[in-house]
Structure 1
Amino acid sequence: MAEGKAVSQPNGHRSIGYATKFDQKAESLQAKADKHGKGKKNNDGGQPAGGFDDTALPRAPPGFNVKFTFHRASKLPMADINTMSSDPYVLATLSTSLPTRHKQDPPMTFRTPTIRRNCDPEWNSEWIVANVPAKGFALKARIYDEDPADHDDRLGNVHVQVDTLSETFGGIKEQSYKIKKRMGSKRAYFIRGCAAMFNRGVHMSGQLVVSVEVLGKTDTDNGGKLWTVGPCNWTQHLSPMVGRLAGTKEPGKDGKTERYAFQANQIQLAGPVPASLYHRYVEFRPFVKGMFTSTSLRGRVLHHALHHQHNRIYNYDRDTVYGSFPSPSLDLTLQFLDLVHHDSGGRIFTYVLTLDGIWRFTETGKEFGIDLLSKHTMHSDVNIYIAFSGEFFIRRLKTPHKEGSPDDQPTHPPSEIDNGPPEDEPPKDPAYYSLIIDNDSGTYRPNAKLLPQLKEFLLRSLPGIKIVTLDCNGDKEKMDKWKNEQRERKKAEGNHQAVVQNDSSSIGSSDEENLNRQEGIVGGEVKPNTKNKVKGKVEESLQKVEDIRKGDREREERETEDDMAGSSQ
């Protein structure tokens, strides 16, 4: 995608605007802090506190590999009065007696796909976790109704408690658990109650069917860390409105026609992530700590804005694409190449690798919109600790790589192509591609000495592809050269327009067709438009966005109160 003439567009979602303005300010403050040597320092040097953390992983006996299966639910309430149905999914959190390196380490979580318009959904989603200790676990499954236009309503909770585990554990086989309504949406259960008044066959209490199976001892010398064994689930999140604001396009359903869409991707890589990959945010200014820990008024505002931005970029809706592979394989590597469009378009991606091996990445670039929507803080969901972060891109090789082949192998095509990408289809063989990945992240500043461990983990996770690691400081000249080549390819292989932001207003996600008309895209023909037309449509959508933000705040406040009430019992 080439950089073309900028088209003036209003701001996107207001919370995204707040977060991106903060990112821009933070980058400026970080540069000043580096220049003048200010900010909180480590005890052993002049660098700001944060970055690589050498806290040792707690020692514990090896645990067990446990498979959790979320089979189905029944008699769920109708959260959508228009369809008299729900779009349910399960969000599970696993807790054990294992100590963590820091109390801020994120918990183990798992999300099932969303089943559309079904009050009796069937998922059969599996989640295999390693090193579950013999003292057992507590599994909390929250059932939600997906509603991207408003807010996800909680339909209830289920708790599965197991006090002891062993290789002779008989397991739990498709056991039905009553869903606790007290944590559910009052609106959803009101609709259910009205239906029950007129139909005796309608029940108020739903059920969730869960299985738990011990697969055997975990093969490790230290059982101090939980990790996801599999499956390797992946999701692709497409946002037409954010894509229009960022000026990014993706292939349409026919694979040829392009449409505006900002693409965010998640892949669950098979663990364990090397224990040495452990980094904390860099505390280059006092307000940064408040933002990550949400301990001050300013910090809570920034934390909420960035968390909201993460949820909007990685938003689940009807356009979300789901997939799964049982374990690392060539098929998983090919799927990764599909998500990054192989080597087409000269794309560069920003990524974050979480402690549990979830790899999140989006396209980045010098364009205003893309750069601010791809910050590592957003990818990590403002998590204090992550495994690694940086940028990467894909290079297509002229010939398949072999073991020991040089990093700077000739690429294909050897020279730039004008007026579009190569006409031939990219080869469906990972050996023709090289993943160039670095540690270029000012938010977490990963230690360059750990790049070999990152490479080893990715080689195990993505079989067949060549992986080259670059130190953003030690290999800066080579890194800049290769990234500049990518940017030049981006200019040569397309003629897209970059969209920039104005200073005011917001746009709702339902206004994509209106913006098409504003750009003059009617029936494939380009027609004149004016700034006043855009302004009028923006003002119409402002109230819609305010309603969405109000719904998000009310949901978070309600669920916080419910969780606190549940924990006090």
Structure 2
Amino acid sequence: MSSEEKYNMSNSAKNKQPAGGYNGTPSTVQKSQDNKSNSAKNKQPAGGYDGTPIPRAPPGYTVKITFHRATNLPMADLNSLSSDPFILAQINTNLPTRHKEDPNLQLRTNTIRKNTNPVWEREWIVANIPASGFKLKARIYDEDPVDHDDRLGNVYVTVGRIDENWAGIKEQAFPVKKRMGSKRAYFIRAIAACFSKAKHMNGYLFVSIEVLGKTEDDQGARAYTLGPCWWTMHYSPLLGRITGKKDPSGGETGDKAKPERYNFQANQFQFRGPVPAAMYHRYVEFKPFVKSMFTSKGIRGWLLSKALHHQHARVYNYDGSTEYGYFSSPCEDMALKFLDLVHFDEGGRIYTYVLTLDSLFRFTETGKEFGIDMLSKHTMHSDVSIYIAFSGEFFIRRLAHPDRDPPEEGGQNESHPPDDIGGGPPEGKPPSDPAHYELVIDNDSGTYRPNAKLLPQLKHFFESNFPGLHVTTLDCQADAEKMNQMKKEQREKKKEEGNRIIYTQMSRSGSMSSSDVEELDRLEATGEREDSGVVKRLKREAARKQNAKKAHLNDYKPSNNREGWRWPGHKLGQDDADAGAKEGGERKVADVEEKRQ
């Protein structure tokens, strides 16, 4: 080999590049870069519609569970030496689930006031219970609207294999396990037992279970509530002020109205299941902290999840003012009750809703006038559920002609709002025929972002549960202009009809602080609540919870003379008859001396 050839080979080795890289076709490189750029732009956050199918399983059985009564429950209330018991029941089966986060079936009974031997007679009909049986866990609680509910004990019922010939359980007594119960409640029960004839401390829950037959469903791997269709209406205190109040001459008064207490209404309606199988949505990870919030991972996620659970419990607050009712199956009266809960077409109201996987419909009124510091409205309604069926907003309109299609569906008809039509609000009483009303419902939810292609199934599901009611669906994206215009008409009608009230949450249980009034003034001036960020909201939520606990503990100070335990027939407050301070906060010595004599 010549020296020239060696020199050329040496230069060739030095200049040799690794395989790949630029191949001399700039159009190909540019196309690759454009595809990556478009992919990044079009990438959606994880979550939303989940197409995971329901696992295959043979049809199960329809089972009716009846919670009859309980006896000899412990006393959680030192003041009345009684309890306000309710049952939170849960069914566990070996059915496969789409995801491990899918919630179990649950039922909460109504609360029986001041009774340690409560009678519920509450039925629960569940479909698709597998032939292998199930486990029923019933937690019995004492309701405490101010502080957390005290657990009075657990009851476990294990049912083996079942079929249409299964004998069932007839009003059988099951012992209340005390191990998970409130130590304070059982301590009070033990003290009371020392002064009564009943020396035992064992409580019992009486339950019946029967098989009604085979479930007529081709998706046997999904158990669901079949009935009854119950509803509840909850109230939580808000601070409010009437704005835009008119004086007799027709002008607006210059003086600000005095802040007053109002009740914020939250509603629940148990539908007849099942929800359509395709209606299955997961939370959307639109922010980095969202996943940790739903899964309670990390300190920040745990705090956010805890705060939202507390908000849900406060908005859907159970107390003496909570209203209950039920229907054996969907009917026109059930549709009328729903219209009553949303005040028919009065006031142009708009509502936020969530539909759970077990057909539980939760909703509250929404709007800028509600200065409620929610971390997330739909997350609060779902009680931080990872998977739900559907969510969005809705409103009600009254039709001039009940036998015609709504105007949104091309019918020659008028509706209120926006039109002023007679025969109902605001001047008259609302008609009692569901056919006079239209439910306009959408998928406007950034938390779960329901699939618009499922709106026809949502429409059919609501029509089957509210017979006679017209149902119209709107896609929050494809029908955005139409939806925004209709909601604008609702808000304008709300301003026209009656007094406009703005609301804000009270920082303390049952009391009004200067900061509450200042927030109300700011809300009235700006028209919307200040976006204070997650940290400030968590601090506010923690302060509310702490104040509620202080108020609750204050009821049990020795100075409050809780002497109801002394002997039977001794009235509560009997020793307090003359124990209060006189005007100015000072006790007169003469009164004390007179008592001593």
Output the CA distance in 2 between the equivalents of 1:376 and 1:500.
19
The within-5 A match list for 1:155-194 is 155-194=152-191
Q: Per-residue displacement from partner, 1:352-385 (whole Å, max 9, x unpaired)?
A: 0000000000000123515848710100000000
1-structure distance, mates of 2:109, 2:152: 15
Displacement of 1:495 = 1.9
- Distance in 1 (alpha carbons) for counterparts of 2:403 and 2:503: 38
Aligned residue runs from structure 1 range 259-338, under 5 A: 260-338=262-340
1:548/1:46 CA distance change after superposition, 3 Å: farther
SS at structure 2 position matched to 1:383 = coil
Matching residue of 2:486: 482
2: distance between equivalents of 1:543 and 1:310?
17
Number of the residue aligned with 1:197:
194
Q: How far 1:407 moved relative to its partner?
A: 2.6
- Could you say if the C-alpha distance between residues 213 and 128 of structure 1 is closer, same or farther in structure 2, counting changes exceeding 3 Å? same
Q: In structure 2, what residue type is equivalent to 1:157?
A: N
What are the superposed Cα offsets for residues 392-449 of structure 1, whole Å, 9 maximum, x if unpaired?
00000011044697536311476459xx952210000000000000000000000000
Distance 1:115 1:215 in 2: 28
Q: Classify the secondary structure of the residue corresponding to 1:497.
A: strand
Match of residue 469, structure 1, among 446, 450, 473: 473
Q: Which amino acid aligns with 1:139?
A: L
- Supply the AA of the counterpart residue of 2:367: G
**Counterpart of 2:238?**
242
> Which protein has the larger Cα radius of gyration, Structure 1 or Structure 2?
2
What is the deviation of 1:507? 2.6
Structure 2 residue 396 is the aligned partner of structure 1 residue 394: yes
Tell me, in whole angstroms, the C-alpha distance in 2 between the residues paired with 1:172 and 1:246. Answer: 56
Are positions 1:431 and 2:427 aligned together?
Answer: no
Call closer, same or farther: CA 1:136–1:48 in 2, change over 3 Å. Answer: same
Distance 2:178 2:142 in 1: 14
SS in 2 for 1:547: helix
Deviation at 1:197, TM superposition (A): 1.8
Q: Which runs of 5 or more structure 1 residues have no equivalent in the other structure?
A: 1-40, 248-257, 520-539, 552-569
2:57 aligned residue: 60
After the TM superposition, which residues 140-151 of structure 1 pair with which residues of structure 2 at under 5 Å, given as runs?
A: 140-151=137-148
Aligned residues: CA RMSD? 2.8
438, 443, 446: which one aligns with 1:442:
446
SS in 2 for 1:49: coil
Task: Please list, as runs of the form range in 1=range in 2, the aligned pairs for 1:379-418 lying within 5 A after superposition.
Answer: 379-402=381-404, 407=409, 409-412=413-416, 415=419
What is the SS of the residue equivalent to 1:48? Answer: coil
Residue in structure 1 matched with residue 121 of structure 2 by the alignment: 124
- Cα distance change of structure 1 residues 172 and 245 upon mapping to structure 2, 3 Å threshold: farther
C-alpha contact 1:246 1:499 (8 A) present in aligned 2: no
Offset at residue 259 of structure 1 (A): 6.8
Q: Write the mapping of 1:63-82 to structure 2, written as runs, cut at 5 A.
A: 63-82=60-79
Contact 1:365 1:371 in 2 (8 A): no
CA drift at 1:151: 1.7
| Structure-1 residue corresponding to 2:547 | 544
Asked if structure 1 preserves the Cα contact closer than 8 Å seen for 2:397 and 2:417, the reply is no
* Residue of structure 1 aligned with 2:134, choices 134, 137, 140: 137
Instruction: Return the alpha-carbon distance in structure 1 between the equivalents of residues 282 and 263 of structure 2.
Output: 31
Cα deviation, residue 476, structure 1 = 0.7
Per-residue deviation, residues 262-318 of structure 1 (Å, max 9, x unmatched) = 000000000010010000000112211000011111100100000110000001000
The Cα shift of 1:542 comes to 8.9
AA at the equivalent of 2:86: Y
Structure-2 separation of matches of 1:475 and 1:152: 44
Distance in 2 between residues matched to 1:310 and 1:482, nearest whole Å = 29
Contact 1:245 1:500 (8 Å CA) reproduced: no
Q: Hey, what's the Cα distance between the residues in 2 that align with 1:548 and 1:309?
A: 18
Match of 2:213 among 208, 211, 216: 216
What's the CA shift string for 1:31-76, capped at 9, x where partnerless? xxxxxxxxxx999951111000000101100000000000000001
2:84 to 67, 82, 87: 87
Secondary structure of the equivalent of 1:489?
helix
Q: How many residues align?
A: 472
Aligned residue in 1 for 2:96: 99
Find the counterpart in structure 1 of residue 499 from structure 2.
Answer: 495
- Describe the SS at the equivalent of 1:491: helix
Q: Does 1:115 align with 2:112?
A: yes
Q: Which amino acid aligns with 1:79?
A: A
Cα separation, 1, equivalents of 2:189 and 2:123? 29
Amino acid of the structure 1 residue aligned with 2:235: L
Residue in 2 that maps onto 1:225: 222
Alpha-carbon spacing, 1:104–1:548, altered in 2? closer, same or farther (3 Å): farther
Q: Deviations over 1:439-481 (max 9, x none)?
A: 0000000000000011111110110000000000000111011
Instruction: Go from structure 1 to structure 2 and tell me whether the alpha carbon gap of 1:547 and 1:245 turns closer, same or farther (over 3 Å shift).
Output: farther
Partner AA of 1:74 in structure 2? T
Change (3 A) 1:432 1:421: closer
Kept after mapping to 1: 8 A contact 2:418/2:489:
no
Structure 1 counterpart of 2:379, one-letter code: T
Q: Is the CA contact 1:96–1:138 (under 8 Å) kept in the aligned structure 2?
A: yes
Residues 354 and 362 in structure 2, CA contact (< 8 A), matched pair in contact too: yes
Rounded to whole Å, the distance in 2 between the matches of 1:393 and 1:370 is: 20
**Residue 246 of structure 1 contacts residue 370 of structure 1 at CA under 8 Å; is this kept in 2?**
no
Higher relative contact order (CA 8 A, sep 6+): 1
* Cα distance, 1:101–1:333 mapped onto 2, change above 3 Å: same
SS at match of 1:78: coil
Residue type at the aligned position of 2:101: Q
Change (3 A) 1:246 1:43: farther
Q: 2-side partners of 1:140 and 1:484: how far apart?
A: 47
Distance 2:297 2:552 in 1: 22
Quote the sequence identity (%). 61
Extract unaligned runs of 5+ from structure 2: 1-37, 244-259, 519-542, 555-597
Query: Structure 1: how far apart are the matches of 2:101 and 2:59?
Result: 23
Residues 214 and 42 (structure 1), Cα distance of their counterparts in 2 relative to 1, 3 Å cut: farther
- The alpha carbon displacement at 1:498 in A equals 1.4
**One-letter amino acid matched to 2:449:** R
The separation in 2 between residues aligned to 1:411 and 1:490, in whole angstroms, is 15
Change (3 A) 1:51 1:473: same
Q: What amino acid does structure 2 have at the position aligned with 1:544? A: N
Question: What is the rounded CA distance, in whole Å, between the counterparts of 2:333 and 2:132 in structure 1?
Answer: 37
Shift of 1:243: 5.7
Q: Which residue of 2 aligns with 1:36?
A: none
The answer to whether the 8 A contact 1:65-1:217 is kept is yes
Please give the alpha-carbon distance, in whole angstroms, between the structure 2 residues aligned to 1:271 and 1:150. 33
Once the two structures are TM-superposed, the CA of residue 497 in structure 1 deviates from its matched residue by 3.1
User: Cα distance 1:87–1:349, how it changes in 2: closer, same or farther (>3 A)?
Assistant: same
What amino acid is the match of 2:298? S
Whole-Å separation in 1 of the counterparts to 2:457 and 2:552: 41
Using the TM superposition, give the Cα deviation of residue 508 of structure 1 relative to its aligned residue in structure 2, in angstroms.
Answer: 2.4
